[in-house]
Structure 1
């Protein structure tokens, strides 16, 4: 079984590539997501949110990843269409090889300004 750190790396690689089949396998059925731009409960709702934001994601530039036996914090620059890179923190909790909780925080103003144009 992969470590939480490896699962987190696979999550970001798949999201950046738009590989939602791989993402689906990394998320637990009951995954709970809370982020700056919304909430999602369950795998399908979480995937819908990732697909939505994925339409404007150009690149995910991971700066650092810190992990223990169940939790991973990833600090990255989120590059989106028309906005400067957005520093972002993502905390993921992993149980039995799948992500069960995700919390994300960033300043959304530049992304929202581009969306409104």
Structure 2
């Protein structure tokens, strides 16, 4: 899979709560940094996404820009606890898996609940 395909598969698996599939898309030593967590390693990363999925309603992708080794996905994060949060997600792809994820959004609505 190329970088754009990996991003599509990642967001689909997360939204469908297919964490077994999601785990196959990230490197064992994946790093994640965002306003709610800084994580090292695949198991902790998937567990964090699984936790966030408890309040996830849907992901509305607005734009995706990809190169050979990275992808930026701009989307609205719809949750059951807050207004939609405009979100930027950047991923680095190495060796056919996601090796690095950086997320930016305003977490105040989610944290206020």
Global fold match (TM > 0.5): yes
> Cα offset for 1:82?
2.6
RMSD (Å), alpha carbons: 0.6
Aligned length in residues: 113
Secondary structure of 1:104's aligned partner:
strand
The aligned counterpart of 2:75 is 76
Structure 1: which 5+ runs fail to align? none
Secondary structure of 2:11's aligned partner:
helix
Structure 2: which 5+ runs fail to align? none
C-alpha distance in structure 1 between counterparts of 2:38 and 2:48, whole Å: 8
User: Which of structure 1's runs of 4+ aligned residues deviate more than 2 A?
Assistant: none
Query: Structure 2 length as normaliser, TM-score?
Result: 0.98
Query: Structure 1 length as normaliser, TM-score?
Result: 0.95
Is residue 97 of structure 1 aligned with residue 87 of structure 2? no
> Cα offset for 1:113?
1.1
